[in-house]
Chain A
Amino acid sequence: MEEVRIYIMGKEYKVPAGLTIMKAMEYAGYRYIRGSGCRAGFCGACATIYRKEGDYKLYADLACQKTVEDGMHLVQLPFSPANKAIYDIERVKADDKTILSFYPEIARCVSCNTCTKACPQELEVMDYIQASLRGDIKKTAELSFDCIQCGLCAIRCPAEIVHYHVAQLARRIYGKYVAPKSKHLEKRVREIEEGKYAKEIRELMNKSLEELRKMYNERDIEPGD
């Protein structure tokens, strides 16, 4: 079995090559009580920073996604302290000064791009902060859509911006006030409320487990030709 050396908070461990950082830490004897969630790269709980031997750069990744490399010096960031603006989404106005008024520190951005370099989702983080600075709610919402709120951008930012809260405010305003209303969704909700599918649901609810299992196994996975 091929092994690699990693350093967890400065202490050397030999772990099998090919493990993720998270599995390698567990292999080394650590047990996660914080900083671990879905283990599939979606929840953003396992932010990790590391350096490699002979390389000055500070890297950032998700422990459940990144494979260990020989000579990695790493530590987990189980939590990012971050201030969150309090607002009532029903009363927020969707204009070009809204985000700036809740998060005035975005004006401190000097375009260093450190947030973008830290993002394990490879988002253009600085670009969405810049978009929010010029009041472009739509662009902020679109560019930040895949954010998993791991906090690495906020921890690295020299302007002390909490990017992911800024982005979440933008997406909430966008969803509520800016994005076109989905007419077909409204229609479908109305149909459901008027009981269009009530009979079918009732029939299903009354079926036995055996019958449900049979129906499930015989279902069309792709609509039939």
Chain B
Amino acid sequence: MKIAYYPGCTLKTDAKKFEDATIKLFKKFGIEMVELKKWYCCGTVYSLTKDNLMYRLAAIRNLIKAKEEGYDRLTTLCSVCYNTLKQANEMARNDKEAMDKINSFMNEEIDYDGSVEVIHPLEILNSMEDKIREKVKKPLNKKYASYYGCLLLRPKSIAIDEFENPKIMERMIEACGGKAVNFPLKNECCGSYTVVNDKQAVVERCYRIISNARRNGADAIITSCPLCHFNLNEIQEEVKKNYTTFSGLPVLYFSEIMLEALEE
């Protein structure tokens, strides 16, 4: 089976290992993630300014490319890309007036009506729990805290799971023979792009989130978001400078540990 894959810029640079691991993971189940022939930056943040349609063009253009290549489903890994594409697609389905304007502006492209479905690879994995169990070769035998952040869950209309208490990644860990620890801060914000202009704010978030994971016995944190990964991973050194008793945790992508469990 083939599924369309929109990488986004970060998956081609800083989060390349996330892309590699996920493509390999899906191959184990006979699913080929096929990169769109043409794709563009998703727009990075879904603008909450409803009437500035300029910020919708990038996302809609990507959905058009998926449609042009004959796909009715589009997957993407990065939480920011997922959120932006999914919310733009919701707009395409529900706001006809906005879409008329966008389609008329993008007159070199085919019209778009929201007919492509945006899904996250975790949603696909969630439906294959038994198959995953069967394929495990080296059970994980460690304790993991699943960190979702915000963008896979909010707003509620685009959430990949129950938005206050998601469990997909926990199910994946257990299916791969690991232990999923209770983690109350799993959907707290990591500080996101605030890291650019107020690093201290992210240091505080990072301290709270990682300490909470540690207190609950986690050996590592897993995530699906390159930006969360950056904030939780790279900022740990800064946290240590602020809190001398703080000790960090490894931060990994969910597909990295799953792949590890499935390989010889």
Contact = CB atoms under 8 A, between A and B. Distances in A.
Contacts of B40: 109, 111, 126-127, 130
Contact of B54 (A126, A127, A136, A158): A158
B41 A117 contact: no
Contact of B58 (A111, A134, A135, A136): A111
Contact of B38 (A109, A127, A136): A127
A113 B54 contact: no
A154 interface: no
B109 to A, nearest CB: 8
B122 to A, nearest CB: 23
B61 to A, nearest CB: 5
B43 A111 contact: yes
Given A117-B108, A133-B41, 11 more contacts: A109-B40, A110-B57, A110-B58, A111-B41, A111-B43, A111-B57, A113-B106, A126-B40, A130-B40, A130-B41, A134-B9
Contacts of B12: 96, 134-136
A198 interface: no
B193 to A, nearest CB: 12
Given A111-B57, A158-B54, A135 B41 contact: no
Contact of A113 (B41, B43, B108): B108
Interface string A151-187: 0000000100000000000000000000000000000
Contacts of A89: none
B13 A113 contact: no
Nearest to B60: A111
A112 interface: yes
Interface string A107-120: 10111110011000
Contacts of A112: 54, 57, 105
17 contacts: A96-B13, A107-B41, A109-B41, A110-B43, A111-B40, A111-B43, A112-B105, A113-B106, A113-B108, A116-B108, A117-B108, A133-B41, A134-B9, A134-B12, A134-B13, A134-B41, A158-B54
Interface residues of A, number: 18
A126 B58 CA distance: 11
Interface in A53-99: 96-97
Interface of B: 9, 12-13, 38, 40-41, 43, 54-55, 57-58, 61, 105-106, 108
A110 B54 contact: yes
- The A contact surface, by secondary structure, is loop
B58 A133 contact: no
Contact of A133 (B9, B38, B54, B61): B9
Among all A-B residue pairs, the 4 with the closest Cβ atoms: A111-B58, A134-B9, A96-B13, A111-B40
B13 to A, nearest CB: 4
B103 to A, nearest CB: 13
Contacts of A130: 40-41
Contacts of A107: 41
A126 B43 CA distance: 14
Contacts of B41: 107, 109, 111, 130, 133-134
B150 to A, nearest CB: 22
A52 to B, nearest CB: 16
A136 B40 CA distance: 12
A97 B12 CA distance: 12
Contacts of A135: 9, 12-13
A116 B40 CA distance: 14
A88 B59 CA distance: 36
A107 B105 CA distance: 21
Q: Which of A107, A109, A111, A158 has the most CB of B within 10 A?
A: A111
A156 B129 CA distance: 51
A116 B61 CA distance: 14
A112 to B, nearest CB: 5
Contacts of A111: 40-41, 43, 57-58, 61
Nearest to A134: B9
A113 B61 contact: yes
B68 to A, nearest CB: 14
A135 B12 CA distance: 8
A211 B241 CA distance: 83
A155 to B, nearest CB: 18
Q: Which of A107, A110, A117 has the most CB of B within 10 A?
A: A110
Contacts of A134: 9, 12-13, 41
A110 B106 CA distance: 12
A134 B54 CA distance: 20
